[in-house]
Amino acid sequence: MNFAVEALNIGFQERTIGGKHVRSEIDETIKQIAILRNPYDSIASGAERWINTSNHKDFDTKKVELLDIKDTPAVLLTINSHSKDYIDFFKDIELLDNIKIFSFEFVTQNHNEFIKEVAKFFNINPIVDEVLIEDIFHEIDLKNNRNRRPREKAEARKIIDDLINKSYPQDSWEAWKIYSDLKAKLDKEGI
């Protein structure tokens, strides 16, 4: 989400509102975009924020009790919570006319096309013809979100990835089914 927001901020030269991660918190009656990411990566990324070594800036100033990666039951509860949120967020989202869905890969690998598609959806024009990936990363860094951009996986993330893989086999996980169905539709559209 940080990548998409900063790409749009630069492309439209105005502040884009950040996103929500829980479906009940979004207003489904207004035009919005959603970014579909592989649930294994999405849930791991979300869970990793709650680990005490994550350096997640939103928790720096708040009195939030962060988890030790060695507290496996607590980490699993966080993973399960993020799994439920993922399913609730994406289940039947394609039925909402006001929501345009983009794949994570399209957003991150074709960011200038992503900006153009968002412009079409909202019927507005980008101000900048081409946005450089370095500028997107620079803006992410300026907002102290370096831990939300591509980087080497921390030890905690590797542990979380392993726990998710063991807990959620693809053939029986509802999040994977939702993702696979939506991703196939987006692949057909090229987004």
- What is the set of domains in the chain, with CATH numbers? 2-189 (3.40.50)
Tell me if 79 sits within 8 A of 163, measured CB to CB.
Answer: yes
By the 8 A CB rule, do 35 and 1 touch?
yes
Q: CA angle 119-175-183, nearest 5°?
A: 40
Q: Do 43 and 79 form a contact (C-beta atoms < 8 A)?
A: yes
Residue pointed to by tokens 């990793």: 48
pLDDT at residue 42, as a whole number: 94
The rounded distance, in Å, linking the Cα atoms of 51 and 155 is 11
pTM for the full predicted model: 0.88
Say whether pLDDT at 144 is over 60: yes
* Strand blocks (E) in the chain: 32-36, 99-103
Q: What is the pLDDT at residue 22? A: 83
- Per-residue pLDDT reduced to its tens digit, 54-111: 765 555 555 667 888 899 999 999 999 999 999 999 999 999 989 999 999 999 999 9
